[in-house]
Structure 1
Amino acid sequence: MASPVTVPLSQIPPDETPVSAEPSEPEAHFRPGKDAVRGGALDFLRFLASLLIVVYHYGAESPMRIERFGQVFSRGFLATDFFLMLSGYVLGRAYGDSVLSGRLSTPRFWARRAARVWPGHLMVLGLLALLVLVLNTVGTDAHKPSRFAWDQLPAQALLIHAWGFPSDGWNLPSWSLSALIVCYALFPLFWRTVSKVRHAWLLPLGAAAILGVFEVIARKVFHHALPDLQFQYGVVRALPLFILGVCLARAVDMRWPSETMAKVMLWGGVALLVITQPLDRYALPDPWLFDAPSLLAIALIVLGAGRLPVKRPRKWIEEGAKLSFALFITHIFVGVIYWSAVHELIDTVPIGIGWQWLMWLAGFPVAYGAAWLFHTYIDQPIQDRLQPLLRK
């Protein structure tokens, strides 16, 4: 029987695991006339990034490696960068005033953010462990030491596996949640610090300098570029990108740049991102020659889109973006089940290449459908009960 592992670990570069989009904030109230509403450009970009995440992780199951059709399909790490940056941006816009005014203390803020990600993570991790036990019982080879090592399960359950603890299996993308837990704890300090800066244009420059320092640390200490760090050092990768998002949020909070300049930044960032994607990152003299312009493009897009008001919000875009967290934590679990069944069928019944492509494409609505069910009937009801208790 084919292995039910969704994406073979040997085929996943350590730099290309996605992070969740910042979940919707039922307790955060954006200020009309100053903050962008949901259903706009940032939500649409979040939806696209989540699609790229699933395409990347399910790409190894296609009849032919999809990277052959374009380098963009091997760029899951850019979606990671986008989500880490966007997390800092969203929290800055949603909670900045409450942090500065003292209405939201640091412990309460961290508790609410941890409660937002931990229950769903634990539930999916438990289901995945149960699934591995069942598959092992019926005699499959699901329990590969590199993917489902039981000694790595406690660190992943505690969300500390990106703090230096070896863990490169189970629900692979959850390293980013582990890293964000640290970012959440430090967010009030970050926001108070950037709020002391009086010139908005200094904020992205300062964040770029911090990013450069972390790049040097990654190369000198860990001997890898930031996007190439192992999962267990995810905090080192996440912190500078999260800080960059916080700085962009503060700049927008100071009404910088102008709306005209924001449009130029947005479309300039899109153009720069499109231009850089055909490049082969690993063929360049240094990966930073690809990483730097790509990060610049993403930052320009977040800043430009965040500064512009949403004049015609779209409900379907908002709902698609809300599913991003559920999709992030469930698509590996769903993939284990779906691709196990698909590979077993292909091994048993002769199936043409055309039908194999159709079965591969069907994996995406299956993943989104499962994410919708999880969000609607499990995650959101839990949050509806939990968050009001924490606010009290």
Structure 2
Amino acid sequence: MNNENTRGIVTRLLSAAGITVNGNNPWDIHVYNEDFYARVLHNGSLGLGESYMEGYWDCRQLDDFFYKILRSNLDKSVRKSLRLKLEILMARVFNFQKPARATRNGQQHYDAGNDLFQHMLDKRLVYTCAFWDGAATLDEAQEHKLDLSCRKLQLKPGMHVLDIGCGWGSFAKYAAENYGVTVTGITISKEQVSLGQQLCAGLPVTIRLQDYRQLNEKFDAIVSLGMFEHVGPHNYHEYMKVAARCLKDNGLFLLHTIGGNEQHAFTDQWLNKYIFPGAVIPTIRQIGQALEGIFVMEHWENFSVNYDKTLMAWYDNVAANWDKLKNRYDQTFFRMWKYYLLSCAASFRARHSQLWQIVLSKAGIPGGYHFAANQESGNLTLATGTFKP
């Protein structure tokens, strides 16, 4: 198929989503290399992302471009390539999140460089969705989310909390300072352990380099913020069993995860290759099947639109701080990272992606589950000051 034919097909597809090639709207794309059309037609989302990284095309408002594509379901109009079909089949048959591979997958993203994340995230280095109700800044929104999580867990002084996928210790530090608890956090990123231990120095916080499958000790409460996406369907049931064996009988488990409307073998093909290798977004059914017979679902909340705003704030931070990062990261990396953040923001804006917080108990709470919140304004009643024993 020649360039003229591929150009015509891709142009018609984009036009169906309200996008004009070389148009004047902020969401229109400008094509600088005619090979762009064949790349997209033959390789789908992978070709779209790689051609953007290589400068084949550009767009003033990349998030709006993706929003229009997703809201029009254009991504479903393009037939899956044979290669993609084979990759999907392999993902369904093989466990791509076994311990050794899970470690390699995690390190590819989370060991990219602490400096990148320090310039991108809030002051606490929270790399999960913020909670923006009543918040004017990213720092405030992330503190709202951390406090919301603590309240949902009903933390009390003296408790010992397990944080599965603790990142740089943001939740652990906040919970120790504001709720008087001891926290043990685990991660498979060496970079996160190193910096997290520094940030939590002097607090009753331990951060360990450890896979969740190695856990076998008891805790009063368990939290997992943004880690379940890396577990994989083959391991969902085992993950729940590990959490149950580590949770005391009267404890609560807060699972915070991105969720999908439809079941897929892995994330978007481009994201799987360049950003989150081996990641899989779970569905309600998959989570329900995994916890069946192990946990009771006490509370399920969706605040996915908050992730759109969070990702946009992260991108603004990266763009504002690029002069401090460009000596270590090249322009191709910047375009890759921009594509990642803005395409994901659009996915949440288009409601293709969700963000769930799920509270689980082992046997059901007598009298039902409740957590402290200001019901009139919808805002959290935040913890007042730092915990003092």
Into which bin does the TM-score normalised by the smaller protein fall?
Answer: under 0.3
Higher relative contact order (CA 8 A, sep 6+): 1
Q: TM-score, normalised by structure 2?
A: 0.24
Q: Which of structures 1 and 2 has the bigger CA Rg?
A: 2
More helix by share: 1
Q: TM-score, normalised by structure 1?
A: 0.24
More strand by share: 2
